[in-house]
Each structure stands twice: as structure tokens, then as C-alpha cells.
Amino acid sequence: MVAPSGIESGLIDLLAVFIIAGGVGVFVAKVGRFPYTIALLLAGLGVSILGLDIDIVLSHDLILLVLLPPLLFEGAATTDLGRFRENIVPVLALAVPGLVLSVVVLGWVGSYAFGYSLLLSLLLASMILPTDPVSVLALFEELGAPERLSVLVEGESLLNDGVGVVIFSTLFVLVTNSESISPTVIADAGIEIVTASLGGLLVGLASGYLIYRIMVNLDEHMTEIVLTLILAYGSFLLAEHYLHVSGVIATVTAGLFIGNRGAEYAMSPQTKISVFNTWETAAFLVNTLIFVLIGAKTPIAQMLDNWQIICIAIALTLAVRALVVYPITGLVNRYSNRTVPFSYQHVMVWGGLHASIPIALVLGLPPDFPRVTELRSMVFGVAAFSLVVQGLTMGRLLDRLGVVTRSESKELYELLLGRARAVDSALNAAERLHDKGELPGGVYEDFRGEYEREKDDLNAAISQLLMNNPDLRREELLVGERRVLKEEKSAIMDAMRSGVVSDDVGERLLEEVDLKLDRVDSGESTARENPEKEGYTEFWRVRADEYGLSSSND
């Protein structure tokens, strides 16, 4: 029998991974509410304990260059940019100064706890502390966490990896060259962090805008899927390996841009469905591969030999996480209209999972690096505890804190709304095909009649559901009102640019829209909830009344 070739052997190993994943999927479907990603990790750990060999090398380059870009891109593309902007202050505070402070504190304490030099201890801290978007995105989606909490935790995870990689790279050079910490070194590192972050932001914006401009004048969903694939990997490689800035931030920025502005202005309904379904599938497959491999490649023997320092590392990581999250969010709350609840802060501490990014960084250390075996054991140990213990208890913590996860009524609403949008898209598609002569008149009428009946039934079901669930109705009212007000703002700005209204009048109108947005962000609707009374008296009504014009405000 002919021995399998390299490619054939690789395919057999890959098939083995997905056979394991298929078995895990069946198990999760039968058991019920059990996080799929954590079940994959446990299955991988079982493979490692049993000594079964999966000959796929889990390397620094495989994680950072192959697996991470699509996960970052999909996570960013499906993030609501409006929600992200609303929470940008706490997200940035935790992702940048929060991470730097965490590294400094853990590095200083760790130098005493582990007996390492300060530089080596700081390097360990820079590897362990970045929270992992792969794990957080997967876990929060499965648990149905509240949207704002998801944005806070996921937003921090998406941003702090770029900062963490830059800090790690700087400290790695210092340790390798046996340099010491000085004010000059600290200043240079600060400049490098700012440069890499801003550079990644600019690369992401530029590449996202370039692909956006191409997609605006294109209506071919298969080609647009390829363009987004080019954008995800291209922005990362351009930033990281050619311009030497943050590839993580570049990919996240590109994903936010194309997933929001691109989806709104450059994608047809068919393209949106195709693009987002493709990326959802890609993220699922990559998640499957990465979690099984992390479990299967965990060095169990090394971790058992170093269990004491692993326990110390876990305790210090959690302590430092709490030491940074509570004071920073408390400080942000003092100067913000939208405070972060204390219950959310508890979840942000316990939900700071550390897995694929830390593992990628520690796997990038050369074999002759100082204390490399201990460093790998600690990083894998913290990752295993983070994913298994913190991940498995996250749902229970949310319940204990009274943090409401997605209810059955919310899930039903999403189902009805999703189907309603699909029906609208189908009606529009049928009309276009009929206008082009590609759909016979009789067939078109049958289609239209069927879909319009379903649309009426869906609208009735949605109305009844909202009537029976006033809290859900109010939440959706505020979400819809926020979107409508942003459209108002855009229309006023267009009118100012085209000269329809003067700048002073336009500024007054914009100020009023901003006031309405502030009220909506604080949870107060400006819409007319009482049919007898206007919810918000607009500026134009006051001026119209002054001129004796009836504004029908009563």
C-alpha cells in the first residue's frame, strides 16, 4: 500500500478534527445548553490525554495569519457600529490604558511570584492578559448575552489584541537583546503602540473604503464574497507584514466599515445574505478547528510538572483583571451619561477569557528562549482555566447576577423579524425578475400573492407579540428610533451640503436631533406614546406657532 502523501496526510488529520467536531455537535444538540466551543476544547483535551496524534502543527503563524483574520473580520462585520460608538469610551479605556496598566501590575507582581526578571515577567503578562475575541464572541453568542454587555466585552477583546501584540513585540526585542528598562525605552514603546494602533486604523479604513467603492458599482454576490475575503486577509497582511503596524486593528476596522456602511450602501439583499452567511460559516469552521487543536496540543505533561506556578498565574491574572476593570469603569461612569452597571462589571472581569491570542504569542517564542517551557505551561494553563472554568460558569453567573439573557419572546421576535425581512427581499426579487421578463406574469402573481399573505401574517404576529411584551416593545422602539434619528441627521447634513438650508438653520436642526439621540440613549423615547400628546415638541413647531401657523401639536 502506498504511503499517504503530505497533502493526503494533512487532509486525513483535518478530517479527523471535523469528525471530532461532528461528534461534539451531536452531543451538544442532545444535551442542550452547553457551549459548543468549550465542548470542542474538552474533546481536544481528551485527545491529548489519550495520546492520540493529530498531525496538524498549532503554530504562531497558523493562528495569527490563517485562523485569526476571518474570526476578527466576521466578529467586527456583525457588530453594530452605532452600538460600538455609544460604548467607545469604556471599551477604549479598558483596551488601551487598562491593558497597559494590567501588564505593568502583573509584570511587577509576577517578578516576585515567579522569580523572573522584571522584563521576562512583563513579557509573560503581555502574552497572558489580552482578552480573546475568538472565545468571547463564540461564548456570548451562545449564551444570548444582552447586546450592550456583548458590545463592551467583545469590543474590548477586538481592540486590546492589537495593543497586546505591539507590547509583546517590544518586550520580546528587549528580552532577546538583554536590554534594561529605561525612560527612553518606555517612551519608545509608547510611541510604537500609538503608531501601530493608528497605522492599523488607517490601513483598515483605506482598504475597507477601497473594497467598498468597488462593491458600490457591482452587483455580483459571488465576486463580492471574494472581495471581502481579500479585504480580511489583505488588510491584515498589508498592515502587519508590509507596513509593520497592527494587523489586528486593521482587520477589525475594515470589518466594521464593510459590515456597516458597506452592508447598507454597497450590498443588495442577495449579496448581504450571501456574504454574511459565508462569513458565519467560515467563522464556525475556523472556531471548530482552533478549539479542537488548542485542546489536542495542550502540553498536559508539562502542565502537571508546573502546576504550582500555573495556579499562581491563574490567581494573579484574575486579581489583576479585577483590579483594573472596577476602577476604570468606575471612573468612566463618573463622567458618562450611560453608566456600566456593577453586574456588567462582574461579568467583564469573569468574561475576560484568554486563549488563542496568548497561545499564538507563546508558540512564537524560540526553543532556546529563557524559561520557555514554564512560559508555555502557564499560558496554556491560564487558557484552559479561562475557557473551561470561566466559560462553563458564565451562564450561571449571568443568572445569579440577574443579567437577563435573550428571552424566548426575544428569540421569537428575532425569528419573525428575520423571516419578514426575507419575505420583503423575496417580493423585491420577484418584482425585479418580472420587470426583466424573466418571470412569467402568472407565476409572478402566484409568488406575490403567497408572499404578501405570509407578510400580513408575520406583521400580525409581530404586532401581537409586541403588545403582549411591553418591555420588548419599548426596547425595539428605542432601537428603531435611534436608527430613524440617525437617518434624520444624515438628511439634514445632505441638505446643508447642497444649500437647501443655511448652516445656522442646519446647525439648529442638528442640535435638536442630537438632543433626541441623547434622550433615546438614556432610555427615554421621544416618540408619541400617548396619542393625545406629542412626545417631544420640535423647534419648528415653536417657530410655526410664533408665526400663527397651526402645527397640529394638540
- The mean per-residue pLDDT over the stretch 361-374 comes to 85
pLDDT for 135: 57
Average pLDDT, the chain: 81
Q: Are 352 and 321 in contact (CB under 8 A)?
A: yes
- The mean per-residue pLDDT over the stretch 351-355 comes to 79
pLDDT for 203: 95
Confidence at 45, pLDDT banded by 50, 70, 90? confident
Q: Are 79 and 256 in contact (CB under 8 A)?
A: yes
Express each pLDDT in 158-207 by its tens digit: 788 778 888 888 888 888 877 677 777 778 777 887 888 889 999 999 99
d(CA 259, CA 272): 9
d(CA 164, CA 358): 9
Alpha helices in 217-306 (DSSP H): 221-237, 247-257, 263-265, 269-296, 300-305
Confidence at 4, pLDDT banded by 50, 70, 90? low
From 108-122, 143-157, 394-408, 502-516, the region with the lowest mean pLDDT? 394-408
Residue among 543, 518, 490, 105 nearest 323 (CA): 105
d(CA 26, CA 41): 15
Cell numbers at residue 369, please? 528562549
Q: Are 536 and 526 in contact (CB under 8 A)?
A: yes
Q: Are 298 and 44 in contact (CB under 8 A)?
A: yes
Neighbours of 44 (CB within 10 A): 25
From 16-30, 135-149, 354-368, 377-391, the region with the lowest mean pLDDT? 135-149
Cell numbers at residue 246, please? 497592527
Q: What share of the chain is helix, strand, coil (3-state, %, to 5)?
A: 80, 0, 20
d(CA 307, CA 381): 8
Q: Answer yes or no: is pLDDT of 14 > 90.
A: no
Express each pLDDT in 222-243 by its tens digit: 899 999 999 999 999 999 889 9
CA 69 to chain centroid, in Å, comes to 12
d(CA 193, CA 190): 5
pLDDT for 1: 47
Express each pLDDT in 502-550 by its tens digit: 877 778 877 877 777 777 666 666 665 554 455 566 666 666 676 666 6
Express each pLDDT in 55-91 by its tens digit: 777 777 787 788 888 888 888 888 777 778 888 889 9
Q: Are 83 and 148 in contact (CB under 8 A)?
A: yes
d(CA 140, CA 153): 9
| % of the chain residues with pLDDT over 70 | 88
> Which range is most confident: 2-11, 226-235, 275-284, 523-532?
226-235
pLDDT for 335: 84
Residue among 204, 288, 282, 209 nearest 248 (CA): 204
Residue 206 is inside which H or E element, if any? helix 183-216
Confidence at 323, pLDDT banded by 50, 70, 90? very high
Residues 6+ apart with CB under 8 A from 266: 212, 215, 216, 258
Q: Answer yes or no: is pLDDT of 33 > 70.
A: no
DSSP assignments along 56-72, one per residue: ----HHIIIIIIHHHHH
Handedness of CA 405, 409, 411, 417 (dihedral sign): negative
Neighbours of 40 (CB within 10 A): 27
d(CA 379, CA 155): 23
From 322-326, 382-386, 454-458, 469-473, the region with the lowest mean pLDDT? 469-473
Q: Are 295 and 45 in contact (CB under 8 A)?
A: yes
Q: Answer yes or no: is pLDDT of 269 > 60.
A: yes
469: three-class secondary structure by DSSP: coil
Question: Which residue has better confidence, 533 or 454?
Answer: 454
Residue 25 is inside which H or E element, if any? helix 6-31
The CA–CA distances, whole Å, from 437 to 179, 427, 431, 450, 451 equal 74, 15, 10, 20, 20
Q: Answer yes or no: is pLDDT of 304 > 50.
A: yes
Q: Are 479 and 410 in contact (CB under 8 A)?
A: no
